[in-house]
Chains A and B, each alone.
Chain A
Amino acid sequence: MSEEKIKSLEKQFEDRILRDEKIEPKDWMPEKYRQTHIRQISQHAHSEIVGMLPEGNWITRAPSLRRKVALLAKVQDEAGHGLYLYSACETLGISREELYEQLHTGKAKYSSIFNYPTITWADMGAIGWLVDGAAIINQVPLCNTSYGPYARAMVRVCKEESFHQRQGYEIMMTLAKGTPEQKDMAQDALNRWWWPSLMMFGPTDAESVHTAQSMKWKLKRKTNDELRQQFIDQTVPQAELIGLTIPDPDLKWNEERQSYDFGEIDWDEFWQVVKGHGPMNKERMNARVSAWENGAWVRDAAIAYAEKQKEYKSKQAI
């Protein structure tokens, strides 16, 4: 294709997105659009899959059957969300094998929040309330993103996600109303998860390299800082209502902005965890890779069985 032809196709493409038309898998798209989407959708899928690990840690020790079925259902949803997103990503011409390969070799990233440990039951509450809460704020605008399969997957994900946040908040609320030890446990979980949750929105706008392009393609509708502020404004009153304290001495209502001012985020910690030096990076990858490798014989057996059945049926037909 000549350079001129590509330029004109690119122009038509950008115009379609401006008109809010959706892009579907077989449509022509700029290579950069394809690559950016593969990166973002796969990162999102990987986050759902790795995200099962910190919570899976507590399924066998949930304090009641009610809590256990809820946590199981939540973890199962995350597996489902990972699968919707992997399929959406595969429509861009990358195979599932390649996607897993990128995760297992560390070439692809997943959300850093899952590199923190879940050391008490209250962490299940804090994750549902804060981590899923932050994820919802990030995800709702994606239901309108320009790439059709991604937008459709996100509609399903968002529909299912709100139960996750409510079950988390209910756990926190129950602990906060409990014995002093239980309330301390809830406060401790909030202390540990608050700042990593704020980091989930990514670097500040000034530092974010992808924001401008992503806004243009409607992969993003609001900037990282806007979304972070929205999360803080909505979460602070929720903490106050159940008598927990946000661990930020600089947090203060700003009458003029009608928003909360908040303290400095530790960006060194953020980049350390992104680069693989968080408390659980190694453990999460080991768990994921060994689950994949130990399951290989099951996948092989299933395909061998399917082939044998096919052979058997075709012989019978003769």
Chain B
Amino acid sequence: MSKNWPLWEIFVRSKNGLEHRHFGSLHAADAEMALENARDVYTRRNEGVSIWVVESKYITASNPEHNGELFEPAQDKVYRHPTFYDIPDEIKHM
């Protein structure tokens, strides 16, 4: 009856003040074991103060084939950046 352990994605906060960052993945039977394994696999040298684990199947990812329609529209919107606007040189701090 060999059933495989599911895959989990591991996110680690390296210190307070920083966000959790994706560190990698591992297999575990349940969330608790995923946490324990993540601690051994990804934080053997004080790399973290907090761990999130989420089963990989719950992550929805965008498809790189759709990158054009998703991300290109932002490229021609220079007016979203401060340098688009002309301001006299005398004005400091704006």
Residues of chain A touching chain B, judged by Cβ–Cβ distance below 8 Å, are 24, 26-28, 73, 76-77, 80, 83-84, 87-88, 90, 95-97, 152-153, 160, 296, 299-300, 302-303, 305-306, 309-310
- What is the CB-to-nearest-CB distance from A153 to chain B, in angstroms, rounded to a whole number? 7
- What is the CB-to-nearest-CB distance from A53 to chain B, in angstroms, rounded to a whole number? 19
Closest 7 CB pairs of A and B: A306-B30, A302-B29, A306-B29, A87-B25, A303-B29, A303-B3, A27-B64
Q: Are B26 and A87 in contact (CB under 8 A)?
A: yes
Chain B residues near A83 (CB, 8 Å)?
26, 41
Residues of chain B touching chain A, judged by Cβ–Cβ distance below 8 Å, are 1-5, 7, 24-27, 29-30, 33, 40-41, 44-45, 61, 63-65
Chain A residues near B41 (CB, 8 Å)?
80, 83-84
Q: Are A300 and B2 in contact (CB under 8 A)?
A: yes
- What is the CB-to-nearest-CB distance from A88 to chain B, in angstroms, rounded to a whole number? 8
- What is the CB-to-nearest-CB distance from B70 to chain A, in angstroms, rounded to a whole number? 13
Output the nearest chain B residue to A97 by Cβ-Cβ distance: B4
Q: Is the interface of A mostly helix, strand, loop or mixed?
A: helix
Chain B residues near A88 (CB, 8 Å)?
24
Q: Given A24-B64, A26-B63, A302-B29, A90 and B7 touching (CB < 8 A)?
A: yes
CA distance A166 to B1 in the complex (A): 45
Chosen A-B contacts, 28 in total, with CB atoms closer than 8 Å, are A24-B64, A26-B61, A26-B63, A73-B44, A76-B44, A80-B40, A80-B41, A83-B26, A84-B41, A87-B24, A87-B25, A87-B26, A90-B25, A95-B4, A96-B27, A97-B4, A299-B2, A299-B29, A300-B2, A300-B3, A302-B5, A302-B29, A302-B33, A303-B29, A305-B29, A305-B30, A306-B33, A310-B30
Chain B residues near A309 (CB, 8 Å)?
30
Chain B residues near A24 (CB, 8 Å)?
64
- What is the CB-to-nearest-CB distance from B43 to chain A, in angstroms, rounded to a whole number? 10
